């Protein structure tokens, strides 16, 4: 750990690029202890950024354990990292009981309530944009709703009587449980709706919702 820390200080050394949070977080703790702001900033960037290995890219280390990163960021009072980690937890199940004695088990209840409140707010935001369904009629070739140059006119699809269709309750529950663009983009709407046309329309609808989500809250 000591040599990893020094690699960020001496100009003749290449800064260590960490492959795991287990290796990085102790170095981050040491950098904070000794008030090495430049090193702290560099390590936060490593946690939140995609990593490259030649031609291969891997997800940011943040996604290896977003809840663990959140707890450490709160302990270290790193606001930006805590915010990024909190958003990343929307993609995982945070209801699992942690091991006794772990950092998660010692987490103040307030921090967990903040995560649950964030999840509730984002779920409400997403469901508000879903509203009463998505269009399956009067759609152009890009599955945009319009009344000119439509390819998909107003006709029944999968028994729908109107130009809109509802998602199954199970899909809405999925969105509410994991309320973030990252999770929604993994949903196979063709499979969930058992219809390629309705699935394509739902995918197009939620792609627009996800784009708005990321413009509003950032990409996590």
CA nearest neighbour of 16 among 41, 43, 35, 55: 43
Q: In which band, very low, low, confident or very high, does the pLDDT at 28 lie, cut at 50, 70 and 90?
A: very high
d(CA 64, CA 212): 26
Q: Is the pTM of this model over 0.75?
A: yes
Amino acid 14: pLDDT: 76
Average pLDDT, integer, range 31-48:
94
Mean pLDDT over each residue of the chain, to the nearest integer: 89
User: Is residue 220's pLDDT more than 60?
Assistant: yes
CA angle, 15 then 12 then 37, to 5°: 50
For the chain, the distance separating the N- and C-terminal CA atoms, rounded to the nearest angstrom, is 29
Over residues 120-153, the pLDDT tens digits come to 999 999 999 887 788 888 888 888 888 777 777 7
Query: Poorest-confidence range of 74-83, 90-99, 145-154?
Result: 145-154
Q: How far is CA 111 from CA 67, 74, 100, 105, 158, in A?
A: 11, 8, 17, 12, 45
Give the domain ranges of the chain.
2-107, 125-217
d(CA 213, CA 181): 7
Task: Look at residue 139 and give its three-state secondary structure.
Answer: strand
Average pLDDT, integer, range 164-184:
94
H-run or E-run covering 175: helix 169-177
Average pLDDT, integer, range 36-52:
90
Decide: 88 and 119 in contact? Cβ < 8 Å: no
d(CA 218, CA 9): 31
């Amino acid at each position: 750990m000591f040599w990893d820390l020094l690699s960020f200080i001496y100009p003749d050394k290449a800064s260590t690029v960490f492959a795991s949070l287990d290796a990085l977080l102790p170095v981050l703790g040491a950098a904070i202890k000794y008030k090495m702001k430049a090193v702290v900033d560099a390590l936060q960037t490593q946690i939140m950024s995609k990593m490259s290995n030649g031609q291969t890219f891997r997800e940011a280390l943040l996604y290896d354990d977003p809840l663990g990163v959140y707890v450490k960021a709160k302990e270290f009072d790193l606001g930006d990292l805590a915010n990024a980690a909190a958003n990343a937890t929307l993609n995982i199940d945070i209801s699992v009981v942690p091991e006794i004695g772990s950092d998660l088990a010692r987490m103040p209840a307030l921090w967990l309530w903040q995560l649950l409140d964030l999840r509730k707010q984002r779920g409400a935001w997403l469901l508000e944009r879903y509203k009463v369904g998505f269009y399956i009629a009067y759609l152009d070739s890009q599955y945009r709703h319009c009344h000119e140059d439509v390819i998909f006119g107003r006709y029944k699809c999968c028994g729908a009587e109107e130009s809109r269709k509802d998602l199954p309750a199970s899909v809405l529950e999925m969105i509410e449980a994991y309320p973030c663009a990252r999770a929604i983009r993994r949903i196979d709407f063709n499979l969930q709706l058992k219809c390629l046309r309705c699935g394509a329309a739902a995918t197009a609808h939620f792609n627009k919702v996800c784009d708005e989500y990321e413009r509003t809250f950032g990409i996590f």
